[in-house]
Chains A and B, each alone.
Chain A
Amino acid sequence: MTFAAAATHGFLSPAGVEIAFLLVGVVTLGAAVITVTTRQLVHAALWLVVALGGLAVEYLLLTAEFIAWVQVLIYVGSVVVLLLFGLMLTKAPIGRSPDADSGNRWVALAVAAVAAASLVWVVVDAFRTTWIDLDGPAQGSTKVSGEILFRHWVLPFEALSVLLLAALIGAIVLSRRDGEEPGKVPASRTAPAARGGKDSSSGRADRSAREGNS
């Protein structure tokens, strides 16, 4: 951070928690890099679990206990399960997928670098001289988080709720299919499996599509 902060909190004699924070950060970063570079699709999802879990540990080390558990609950417990479900339902071969690379990867890298730079800049600029006292009472407990959220940040919270509600309604609208016979599988549903080329996988997709209809 800044030199003014460094005067009171030395960088050269880090506490145990700070060392742990750095080590977990390195592991998290490594897992994240493997997530986007590995060619084994399901392995990417599993490395994502490591990265997200590492983030939860970082929150814990910063005494933000509530955020840490919510991170595990939402991301590891739900988002990754949904991701794995989708991977297994469509195509998830064991071993490398040669076509798992995208031609957009340099553009994606540039966007990621710009996003990371702006985030780091905003965070450093906003919390320049703020230090969390890790030895004192927890500053991220459920009570504190709730009070701050519902006293100072109610409007953004409600705006986010409306956004999520819109997404929910959108999902319902997209998945509704009026005027179709229940037994008929539309062409769009079988297309990904047909690309897979194997009889077994397309049969699986057919069956699941039929289950979805009934």
Chain B
Amino acid sequence: MNDALDVAFRLIVVFAVFLVLPLVIGQTEHKVMAHMQGRLGPMYAGGFHGWAQLVADGVKFAQKEDVVPAEADRRVFQLAPAVALLPYLLVLVAIPIGPSEGAVGQVVDAGIFFVLAVMGVGVLGSLMAGWASANKFSLLGGLRTAAQLLAYELPMLLTAASVAMAAGTVSLPGILNAFEWWWLPWQIVGAIVFFVAGLAELQRPPFDMPVADSEIIFGAYTEYTGLRFALFLLAEYAGIVVLCGLTTVLFLGGWHGPFGADGLGWVWTLLKIAVLAFIVIWLRVTYPRMREDQLQKLAWTVLIPLALAQIALTGIVKVVI
């Protein structure tokens, strides 16, 4: 009985994190983008600096009519948002935020493989949405999503493999236990490649060609309204949380910090995630969208060679020490 309670408690905590952190990042995005563009952003809802804007948005989405186009493939169309969103919830279960047993939802033996495999499933949601909408803009968006995923999955896997080689384990808490501060300069190339490839997988600017609103409306999500559209948006922000969390755990040392080793580990993790999320938002405001051929070129001629070089470097250092 105690075990069941423990599992239930962990799941509830992970679910709460899954609901709260994406909203925090969404609100931060409103504000950071506004101030970088010399304006205020939402100021009215909730009184203090418009903190309740996203809640208001949620209420608005819930009130809207849920429309399925007449020509669409109904079931696939309706299933797609769930397929896009649920994998990120599953990934959050495996990300450790502190050194103790209780600071991770569930220790997964092959943690790296688990998180990368399940994250890859989420993209199926976009493909299903793109095809089932029976709309050529949606189909184009789905095609671009697939092309982007095929190009950027490989560098992500290669750099994650580099970290696994360095740590000698594929379990996420195991990697953090093996972490030393000098891994930071050692794996820095891998970290950048991983982060950039992750951004592309999430279709965040400057890699947002699949949803490029000025040419294909909103890509695979063009036909969606109401709650289902909100679920896709939530998936995007949950994806940011997961990507920043993974980069923190794999490359930035997770709960390790200059001081406060005991008890404050989770603060370091959250701080690093917050800084990375800020960078994600910053990139959206500052960089123009990349063209499709530039996207493919970046992945195949820059990121993959860099990732391979990182693996070679990791191997050499590992053999030498």
Contacts and interface: CB of A to CB of B under 8 A. Distances in A.
Given A65-B109, A94-B132, A142-B170, A42 B76 contact: yes
Given A73-B117, A211-B293, A94 B72 contact: yes
Nearest to B170: A142
Given A72-B118, A84-B127, A94-B71, A78 B150 contact: yes
Given A81-B127, A85-B150, A76 B73 contact: no
Interface string B53-75: 00000000000000000011100
B131 interface: yes
B285 interface: no
A43 B278 CA distance: 39
B49 interface: no
Given A94-B134, A211-B293, A78 B146 contact: no
B147 A85 contact: yes
B76 A43 contact: yes
A73 B134 contact: no
Question: Which size class do B's interface residues fall under?
Answer: 35 or more
Given A72-B117, A88-B146, A94-B73, A200 B136 contact: yes
Interface string B124-164: 10011011101010011011001101100100010000000
Q: Dominant SS at the B interface? A: helix
Contact of A42 (B120, B131, B150): B131
B131 A78 contact: no
Given A69-B113, A142-B109, A211-B293, A80 B76 contact: no
A70 interface: yes
Contacts of B73: 40, 42, 94-95
Contacts of A88: 127, 130-131, 139, 142-143, 146
A72 B171 CA distance: 17
* Most chain B beta carbons < 10 A, residue from A80, A142, A204: A142
A77 interface: yes
Question: Which size class do A's interface residues fall under?
Answer: 20 to 34
B128 A46 contact: yes
* Most chain B beta carbons < 10 A, residue from A66, A85, A138: A85
* Most chain B beta carbons < 10 A, residue from A73, A141, A142: A73
Nearest to A86: B146
A81 B113 contact: no
A69 B153 contact: no
Interface in B42-100: 71-73, 76
A95 B70 CA distance: 12
B109 A76 contact: no
Contacts of B153: 77-78
A95 B108 CA distance: 40
B249 interface: no
A88 B169 CA distance: 39
Contacts of A42: 73, 76, 131-132
A78 B120 contact: yes
Nearest to B120: A77
B229 interface: no
A69 B114 contact: yes
Contacts of B170: 66, 142
A92 interface: yes
Contacts of B142: 84, 88
A189 B251 CA distance: 43
Nearest 10 CB-CB pairs, A to B? A77-B120, A73-B117, A69-B113, A85-B146, A72-B117, A66-B110, A69-B117, A142-B110, A94-B73, A69-B114
Interface of A: 40, 42-43, 46, 49, 65-66, 69-70, 72-73, 76-78, 80-82, 84-85, 88-89, 92, 94-95, 138, 141-142, 200, 204, 208, 211, 214
Given A94-B71, A138-B109, 16 more contacts: A40-B73, A42-B76, A46-B76, A65-B108, A66-B113, A73-B117, A77-B121, A78-B120, A84-B127, A85-B150, A94-B72, A94-B73, A94-B131, A141-B109, A204-B139, A211-B292
